[in-house]
Structure 1
Amino acid sequence: MMLQLLTIAVLAAGTVVPAENNLVAQADAAPTPKLDWAPCTEEGLRQYECAIADVPLDYTKPHGAKLGVAVLRQRATGDRIGTLFTAVGGPGGSGIDAAKDGLASPEISKRFDVVTFDQRGVVRSRQVKCFASPEEQAHFWDTVPMPPATKAEEKRTTKGTKAFTEGCARHNPDLVNNLTTVDVARDLDLLRRAVGDAKLTYTGGSYASYIGEVYGALFGDRVRALQLNAMMDPVSYSTSTLSALSERAQGTAGVWAEFARLCTQAGKPACAFAGPDVHGRNASLLTKLKNGPMTVGRGEAAVQVRYQDLVPAQVQMLYDTQGWPVLAAILDAIERGPDGDPEIAGAILGGAGFRFDFLSSFIAISCADIDVPKTPELWPLLAKAFDAGIPNYGRHWLYMTQPCATWAKVKQRYTGPWRLTSDVPALLINNRFDPVTPLSMAVKAQREMGNARLLVVEGHGHAIVNACTDKVRAEYLIDLKLPADGSSCAPDRRPFDGV
């Protein structure tokens, strides 16, 4: 049943496959941006330099209207090799905001100017607007269930996502058609030209790995080094998105199973939710929440927790194992109901920690890239099929794409081929247990890129930060040295250690 639905849906969705040489020619025809670097003025960024790069809003008109891409630079502190470009994931994450926590390791920072940016449609680079006011935006995300749990909620969400799409088109009529990752890759090539580098050195993870995949496919002869983490499978993402969502949901379910196993192994107090049948108790909680909110705490301090609060929060908190003890405490508080701590349970309320502008960018950029059915009323049927194999998590990932069912067809969208033709193979790194970009996606990406080496981290979560990978990454970016085929890294710490 699931396979039949996926097949019908994929056939129902249209594809746009422009010739890659035309996409490159349009970028080459655009003027090189002039970067007038000056000290950044925002709090937390004053140690860096900032500039605005004027790039074509629409690459089919390379000398037409411009869009200002906000760029940030950290100068090399030692013997400089060139520029290392980096981006963050989402889509919708701000590279410039992320710079407040640092840009690169000391070793890499010595050898490269490190440059990051807010991609088009994100924060300082003309943030996508889908609502008339911040209040309207907050009301939408509070009242439109994502994901919906009942038939009534599914109808409300279908109506809401149509309104969301209409709002995005109304408030950004010239922008929504020019937000594809192929546009970002071409912006990146213009930035490479602007800093004077003959070839691109780039690192990025999660969605930012897809930026690297698109750049490598279009501009392979201009690549010095591509170091990509938490890999996306470019084929399924761009041409078989429902299959990609199913695979992502399976990855989430697999990491949840690891959470349950390691929580049981750690016991209390390391894991507050430890006890008999962690997996079954979580399933029971989610089933109860589908039937209505649960009250945690008593009196005025009590909070109401909904299905749409817990599921996204649970998925997000599986990203980083440092947050697993907090997730365990939240589940314990909700399970205790009136006897639970409302302050702990309340930590998941209000958008699961995402800023609402991020969600607008995430959906707008995703809808420009992916391939889903153009019938929003199909989503409840698809959700039922997803639930049969991957309860809760499949529904979560699926409904984030429902606005794309009514999204206007974009002018240019890249769907392959994905072969990387650079002189130096790309270095791909992926955790074995990743809830968002499972290892299976990295294996496919390596095969599709062809000219790539995959390093597996024997750990959990979406982030890839540890001493082993820092060393491998630096050796590759600085000296173009690849790890041996089949190499792996161990994480610095295990979930629930040291709690």
Structure 2
Amino acid sequence: MHTRPSPHRTRGIRTRTTARLTATFVTAAALLMSACSPGSSGTARGATVDAALAALPRATPSALTSYYGQRLRWRDCGVPGFQCATMKAPLDYADPGAGSVRLAVARKKATGKGKPLGSLLVNPGGPGGSAVGYLQEYAGIGYPAQVRARYDMVAVDPRGVARSEPVHCLDGRRMDAYTQTDMTPDDQRERNTLVAADRKFAESCGAHSAKLLRHVSTVETARDMDILRAVLGDRRLNYVGASYGTFLGATYAGLFPARVGRMVLDGAMDPSLDARRLNLDQTAGFETAFRAFAKDCVRRSDCPLGGKGTTPAQAGDHLRAFFRKLDTHPLPAGDADGRRLGEALATTGVIASMYDEGSWERLREALTSAMRHNDGAALLALSDSYYERDASGHYSNLMMANAAVNCLDLPPAFTGPEQAEKALPAFEKASPVFGPGLAWASLNCTYWPVRATGEPHRIEARGAAPILVVGTVRDPATPYRWAQSLARQLSSGRLLTYVGDGHTAYGRGSACIDSAINTYLLRGTPPPPGKRCT
């Protein structure tokens, strides 16, 4: 996309403090994780999605018995009220005896009276977001009290993520350089620089995590979730997934339909889409979100993108002009490591703020500081938060895991820069503000050292209990039509619509949405067909 976000990336809600800024995944490497337009199946270059994800046999293979029969040793996490454990899963499900991966698990036991409902597994998205961090910082204390009273709240960091044998690529200094790569090349030299940055990132991941890179797919993580279900003693999996977490949950349902309990997929993705379509759809989603922000901004006296009477399109023109200026004249940002605010980091800061309308005020202030006072510090801080970069220059492995999962799940959007350049008009049409950068960012998997093992496919999960799919009509990262498509694909899908802004809907202030989801989680009763909330 603009900066170094890797296409195929979504973010779900993570913590209540960062949720007001980013709304999850979780994550900054590739703001793209797209899906396709109705009727097209989202396919490109001759791909096909005629086949649905096939369910696995109900009987547990004998080679996996030791994994399904393991006992977790719970210990204090250092966070009051939470327990932690380590679970083993086979590195390669095709060869379970060839080694294992160690996965970090955390839980908070049910806190109230009433009949226990078992475990509720949560995942905030990404891919690459820490589910354990999300549980400890938000879900375990911020989910509705009546839900926490009846469920043990549980999370597992997916393989390759955070505490679960994380994928590693670049160190902080090299990540700084990578995130500042110009994603809107003006000539052949800049294009070569961009391609070289993608190659270097991919080669570094291959050098540091060669063995793991082949086994971080969503299908493998979904299978890990079934081991966890069994180890926890649950007959069925109860689950709330946000953003990419919806793809993970739907994949689980497709593989183990008979083991689906109460499943909420909030900010849904469409598994039938290929990478190019996903990225293009998400580009349009960010444009929709920006226009909503711009419409609100120009009504206010402190809007740096124009005053009363300015249209959202004109506000977009002002922002593009600002980005072009930064391309050649970066702003000082008061950064201890000497970074300045260039076009790439500024674009990331703006996109980060599109996830949640609660961050619009902070974005207005940051744009005002940069555009009127030549101070890029506030926009740089927004970008750093999105990339999970701390003040010491250390990055979480969010971006690295994000690319590793996305590039394994789907073939790359483009085979080379020529295809990306050819697609520029379509991306620019989808978003005059963000389109060009997001088109070039779609090269992120082109040079990946491991061949993709996944393809676009439908998920039907025939025989599964009712699955609640939640879509927000102006969601920037997971466009509403993805939720519509997933709900149609799932044989037991039930669509719940939030008529509003921002990424995901649960816990964002809509009493209607929260009530419908809570009722489903506590009673197993999904909302009526066609339910819409504001």
Counterpart-to-counterpart distance in 2, 1:417 and 1:23: 19
Residue in structure 2 matching 1:200, options 219, 232, 237: 237
Residue in structure 2 matching 1:376, options 400, 404, 416: 416
**Structure-2 change in CA distance of 1:258 and 1:306 (3 Å):** same
Counterpart-to-counterpart distance in 1, 2:101 and 2:50: 24
Aligned partners of 2:128 and 2:402 also within 8 Å: yes
Superposition pairs for residues 88-99 of structure 1, below 5 Å? 88-99=124-135
**Structure-2 change in CA distance of 1:305 and 1:278 (3 Å):** farther
SS at 2:44 equivalent = helix
SS at 1:485 equivalent = coil
What residue is the counterpart of 1:109 in the other structure?
148
Extract unaligned runs of 5+ from structure 1: 491-499
Tell whether 2:398 aligns with 1:358: yes
Residue in structure 2 matching 1:425, options 445, 452, 466: 466
| Partner AA of 1:117 in structure 2 | V
Residue in structure 1 matching 2:297, options 248, 263, 267: 263
Tell whether 2:83 aligns with 1:49: yes
Aligned partners of 2:109 and 2:153 also within 8 Å: yes
| Partner AA of 1:212 in structure 2 | G
What residue is the counterpart of 1:178 in the other structure?
215
User: What is the identity percentage for the equivalent residue pairs of Structure 1 and Structure 2?
Assistant: 24
| Partner AA of 2:209 in structure 1 | N
The structural deviation recorded for 1:33 is: 5.5
Superposition pairs for residues 328-477 of structure 1, below 5 Å? 328-336=364-372, 339-348=373-382, 350=384, 352-355=386-389, 356=395, 357-373=397-413, 375-377=415-417, 378-410=419-451, 412-413=453-454, 415-464=456-505, 465=507, 466=509, 467-477=511-521
**Structure-2 change in CA distance of 1:27 and 1:72 (3 Å):** farther
Counterpart-to-counterpart distance in 1, 2:203 and 2:487: 38
Aligned partners of 2:387 and 2:399 also within 8 Å: no
Counterpart-to-counterpart distance in 1, 2:461 and 2:41: 29
Residue in structure 2 matching 1:121, options 160, 165, 170: 160
**Structure-2 change in CA distance of 1:286 and 1:197 (3 Å):** same
Tell whether 2:174 aligns with 1:136: yes
User: Please, which moves more after superposition, 381-390 or 434-443?
Assistant: 381-390
What residue is the counterpart of 1:488 in the other structure?
532
What residue is the counterpart of 1:285 in the other structure?
319
**Structure-2 change in CA distance of 1:35 and 1:403 (3 Å):** farther
Counterpart-to-counterpart distance in 2, 1:255 and 1:201: 31
The structural deviation recorded for 1:74 is: 0.8
Aligned partners of 2:323 and 2:347 also within 8 Å: no
What residue is the counterpart of 1:10 in the other structure?
44
The structural deviation recorded for 1:423 is: 4.7
| Partner AA of 1:134 in structure 2 | G
Counterpart-to-counterpart distance in 2, 1:93 and 1:76: 24
The structural deviation recorded for 1:154 is: 2.6
Aligned partners of 2:169 and 2:400 also within 8 Å: yes
The structural deviation recorded for 1:343 is: 4.1
Superposition pairs for residues 269-308 of structure 1, below 5 Å? 273=305, 275-276=307-308, 277=310, 279=312, 280-290=314-324, 292-294=327-329, 304-308=340-344
Aligned partners of 1:24 and 1:186 also within 8 Å: no
Aligned partners of 1:39 and 1:47 also within 8 Å: no
Aligned partners of 1:13 and 1:371 also within 8 Å: no
CA displacement, residues 473-497 of structure 1 (integer Å, 9 cap, x when unaligned): 111111111112121222xxxxxxx
User: Please, which moves more after superposition, 83-92 or 457-466?
Assistant: 457-466
Counterpart-to-counterpart distance in 2, 1:452 and 1:393: 33
Aligned partners of 1:177 and 1:408 also within 8 Å: no
Aligned partners of 2:352 and 2:382 also within 8 Å: no
**Structure-2 change in CA distance of 1:345 and 1:199 (3 Å):** closer
Residue in structure 1 matching 2:93, options 48, 59, 80: 59
Aligned partners of 1:251 and 1:437 also within 8 Å: yes
Counterpart-to-counterpart distance in 1, 2:174 and 2:421: 26
Larger fraction in helix: 1
What residue is the counterpart of 2:25 in the other structure?
none
**Structure-2 change in CA distance of 1:486 and 1:309 (3 Å):** same
Counterpart-to-counterpart distance in 2, 1:397 and 1:38: 43
**Structure-2 change in CA distance of 1:422 and 1:478 (3 Å):** farther
Aligned residue pairs total: 474
Superposition pairs for residues 220-235 of structure 1, below 5 Å? 220-235=257-272
Tell whether 2:279 aligns with 1:245: yes
Aligned partners of 2:55 and 2:254 also within 8 Å: no
The structural deviation recorded for 1:50 is: 0.5
Counterpart-to-counterpart distance in 2, 1:300 and 1:371: 37
| Partner AA of 2:346 in structure 1 | L
**Structure-2 change in CA distance of 1:290 and 1:7 (3 Å):** farther
Counterpart-to-counterpart distance in 1, 2:503 and 2:480: 11
Counterpart-to-counterpart distance in 1, 2:41 and 2:54: 27
Counterpart-to-counterpart distance in 1, 2:463 and 2:360: 39
Counterpart-to-counterpart distance in 2, 1:385 and 1:475: 42
SS at 2:503 equivalent = coil
Counterpart-to-counterpart distance in 1, 2:50 and 2:103: 26
| Partner AA of 1:308 in structure 2 | A
**Structure-2 change in CA distance of 1:389 and 1:105 (3 Å):** closer
Tell whether 2:201 aligns with 1:164: yes
The structural deviation recorded for 1:135 is: 3.0
Residue in structure 1 matching 2:192, options 136, 149, 155: 155
Counterpart-to-counterpart distance in 2, 1:84 and 1:298: 43
The structural deviation recorded for 1:64 is: 2.5
| Partner AA of 1:197 in structure 2 | D
SS at 2:96 equivalent = coil
TM-score normalised per structure 1: 0.86
| Partner AA of 2:177 in structure 1 | H
Aligned partners of 2:414 and 2:442 also within 8 Å: no
SS at 2:210 equivalent = coil
TM-score normalised per structure 2: 0.81
What residue is the counterpart of 1:497 in the other structure?
none
| Partner AA of 1:486 in structure 2 | G
**Structure-2 change in CA distance of 1:91 and 1:308 (3 Å):** same
Higher relative contact order (CA 8 A, sep 6+): 2
Aligned partners of 2:283 and 2:430 also within 8 Å: no
The structural deviation recorded for 1:424 is: 2.5
CA displacement, residues 165-204 of structure 1 (integer Å, 9 cap, x when unaligned): 1111111111111111000110001111111111111111
Extract unaligned runs of 5+ from structure 2: 1-36, 390-394
Counterpart-to-counterpart distance in 2, 1:23 and 1:365: 25
**Structure-2 change in CA distance of 1:318 and 1:184 (3 Å):** same
| Partner AA of 1:49 in structure 2 | Q
